[in-house]
Amino acid sequence: MKEKRALLWRKRLFCVICLFAVFSGIFTDGIPVQRDSSTRTVKAAGSKWPTLSKQKVKGLSCGSAIVMELSTGTILYQKKMHKKFYPASITKILTAMLTAENTSPNEILTVSETAAYGISEGDSTVYSEPGEKLTIEECLYAIMLQSANELCLAVGEHISGSVKEFVKLMNKRVKELGLKDTHFNNPNGLPDEKHYTSAHDMAVIARTAMKNDLFKKVCGTKSYTCPKTNKHKEERFWPNHHQMMNAYEYPKYAYKYCTGGKTGFTRVSGNTLVTYAEKDGMELVCVVMKSGSPKNGEPNEYTDTTTLLNFGFENYRKHQISRDDTEINDSLFNTYGSYFDSKNSPVHLSGESSVILPKGVKLSKAKQEISYVKKKEIKEGDNIIGGVKYTYKGKTVGFSDIIYTKKTEDESSSLDSASRKMMNKEIGEMEAKRKKDEQNATFWRNIKNTLGTFFGYTAVRIGLAVLVLSLLLFLLIRFGRNFRMPRVRLPRFHFRRRDRSTGGYRNKRARRNYRRRRRTERRNGKSDFGSGRRRRNTRRYYEKKAVKTPKEKKKSSLQHGKKHKNTRESFGKNFFDF
């Protein structure tokens, strides 16, 4: 009985341990939690991109943010990057870019009365007066460093004839850049319901603006002294308001890698900030919107930007790609090996070709997708005949144009008609294969996304967990009966008592149970002894004594009689001897 009870308890303990293990595996992620507040860097063997630690994410005050690499447009970090916000004065980046593209630096601008008095009291201004003459370069310094609202109106009138037409030009350029979260209604960013943008779109605009040399020069200036004008007889000193670049008001927010930027603030938009930075040959732009103000302490727009830029520089590296990089360009240039001279090949990549990868990831890990232009007419000079897109873990990390340079003095290096036909045929086959691969990849990606969405619901996970537990419980009940745990004898650290007799009918408990069982059987009419009561003979279970002989019996009786006294009170065997 004791052995059966012990075996039963061992089975129950085993079931409890199994259920605990199953619950632990289903309701935990199985990934060790990283409690370090620093950023995580993924190694080459990892399958994920670097991510900002949860502690630092909680420390951000901004409503949305983005970090983008300038040369490739690779997004290194984003937080609600497509959410729409009021941009405030960072709108002036697009205004300054269009001004630099459509005018010359020494071009003279005359401030109109409409522009000079077209702003409200309290708006940022350099106090330009009607009829004041300024160069375009001076206007750009006033717009980017001092956030002069009246000069934004002035350059709009100068370029398009009116502010309304200039706003149309702004939205036209936004559409050309493929931006879908942006619509501008004025050139200076003052509050308007129809004037909004997102962190992503603002980063694309800022990236495009830095390609203009005049804008880059003005944006990267810490301070500028405006010479005398026909309305101002004294020079004016214009410091850059961006405290990470020119920390005259908040020295602790100075950032040594900062190369420029633009601030913005209205009561409706909160603080907005665009910051350019460069380190180890990699240029980043960071945009934060709806952020905190340094006047209210930390976190604020500057602490947010510093955190995000440090994350980008610490976790990513820029790889330059050239013709000699056989590590990644073998398949690219071998395609043209039969058509061009390998020593003086007219095929090359565009000027700055680079790839952004997490630190620790080799360039060979990047996947390249080559596309070619069909029916390209080859002219003298540089001709774009295709492009190379680099991806890593499903994310675009770089793009380069394939350029064919035709020289007039060397006709042998150009493509003849026969070679062109052969090339078009090969290009057609490659594109057909690429399209087929894309279709297959899209099919499996859709299945993966569907399954991921389905199993992402909490109700589905709970149902799956219940199903697994039910199946496991059924298996334990079905096959656990015949399972025997190995018996382990633990050492005893006490004195061993003398064994007591167990079993049989010498045991008091056994006799009691036997009597109880017989009483139950008699009540139910199943007794083997019949209806009458009979006294149970248990003498056979005890030790049998040897049968005495008559002499031994007589001797025993005589000894018994000797024990009694021969008195009148005696009632023994010798009573009549009295």
Question: What is the tens place of the pLDDT at every residue in 330-355?
Answer: 444 444 444 444 445 666 676 667 88
Peptide bond into 105 cis (omega under 30): no
Flag whether pLDDT at 547 surpasses 50. yes
Helix (H) or strand (E) segment spanning residue 167: helix 163-176
- At 135 the three-state DSSP class reads strand
Most confident of 30-44, 265-279, 549-563: 265-279
Contact 108, 139 (CB under 8 A): no
Strands 108-110 and 84-85: unpaired
Flag whether pLDDT at 525 surpasses 70. yes
Alpha-carbon distances, residue 243 vs 263, 274, 294 (angstroms): 9, 12, 10
Confidence category of residue 42, pLDDT binned at 50, 70, 90: very low
Q: Does domain 64-318 have CATH number 1.10.3720.10?
A: no
Q: What is the pLDDT of residue 345?
A: 61
Tokens of 529: 């002894």
Alpha-carbon distances, residue 500 vs 67, 279, 494, 510 (angstroms): 83, 87, 17, 14
Residue 129: how many other CB atoms lie within 10 Å: 14
- At 501 the three-state DSSP class reads coil
Q: What is the pTM of this model?
A: 0.63
324: phi then psi, degrees, rounded to nearest 5: -85, 0
Q: What is the pLDDT of residue 166?
A: 95
Contact 69, 282 (CB under 8 A): yes
155-188 residue pLDDT tens: 999 999 999 999 999 999 999 999 999 999 999 9
Single-letter code of the amino acid located at 514: Y
- The pLDDT mean for the chain works out to 78
Q: What is the pLDDT of residue 26?
A: 43
DSSP 386: E
Residue 487: how many other CB atoms lie within 10 Å: 9
Which region among 20-29, 133-142, 230-239 has the lowest average model confidence (pLDDT)?
Answer: 20-29
Flag whether pLDDT at 69 surpasses 90. yes
213-243 residue pLDDT tens: 999 999 999 999 999 999 899 999 999 999 9
Q: What is the pLDDT of residue 45?
A: 37
Torsion of CA 432, 438, 441, 446, to 10 degrees: -130
Q: What is the pLDDT of residue 131?
A: 93
Q: In what order do the strands lie in the sheet with 395-406?
A: 347-349, 395-406, 381-392, 367-372
Which residues are bridge partners to 349 per DSSP?
A: 402
d(CA 385, CA 35) in angstroms, rounded, equals 50
Q: What is the pLDDT of residue 43?
A: 36
Locate the domains of the chain by residue range.
1-28+455-484, 64-318, 321-442
Confidence category of residue 258, pLDDT binned at 50, 70, 90: very high
- At 68 the three-state DSSP class reads strand
For residue 352, give every residue at least 6 positions away whose Cβ sits within 8 Å of its Cβ, in sequence order, or none: 71, 320
Q: What is the pLDDT of residue 255?
A: 94
Alpha-carbon distances, residue 96 vs 110, 143, 159, 383, 469 (angstroms): 17, 7, 12, 31, 65
DSSP 231-292: S--S-EEEE---TTTS-SS-GGG--TTEEEEEEEEETTTEEEEEEEEEETTEEEEEEEEEE-
